[in-house]
Homo-oligomer: A and B are copies of this chain.
């Protein structure tokens, strides 16, 4: 399938983890539950280290925890490809849950479908340790307008 490999990241995964800890401390209060693992042209990989607090009745990872991973995947796509403006917001997110997942590392493989002037559209495959798809989401983020060229410095 076509990738937007002509896109060029402006931040690395490590830079994004520092940025997320600064601007969004509620996300990872004590441990790195959610983190960026990799950033590459046209996409990124994000991870949820799912523990007890991420489980729902039945002992499986909750829908809100997987939604959060998808939402962060889009956030990392915007931050890494349009610049570190923390105020990008989610416009829409559609998620399908297709298999149950137990606690453990859960990876989200994100792909930018379109990076426009005001909107970014992405999708994400969320996979468990056995490489089976657990969930799939598609979302739209607003892209903040460039402010005097300081957005991507």
Contacts and interface: CB of A to CB of B under 8 A. Distances in A.
Contacts of A87: 57-58
A42 to B, nearest CB: 11
Contacts of A86: 57-58
16 contacts: A1-B125, A26-B54, A64-B67, A64-B68, A67-B71, A67-B93, A89-B97, A90-B97, A91-B119, A93-B95, A96-B113, A96-B138, A96-B140, A98-B113, A98-B114, A140-B140
Interface string A124-153: 010100011100101010000000000000
Given A94-B94, A96-B92, A114-B99, A55 B67 contact: no
A148 to B, nearest CB: 20
B2 A131 contact: yes
A2 B121 CA distance: 21
Interface string A46-89: 00000011111110001110011001000000000000001101
B90 A113 contact: no
A15 B93 CA distance: 31
Contacts of A54: 26
A56 B95 CA distance: 20
A58 to B, nearest CB: 5
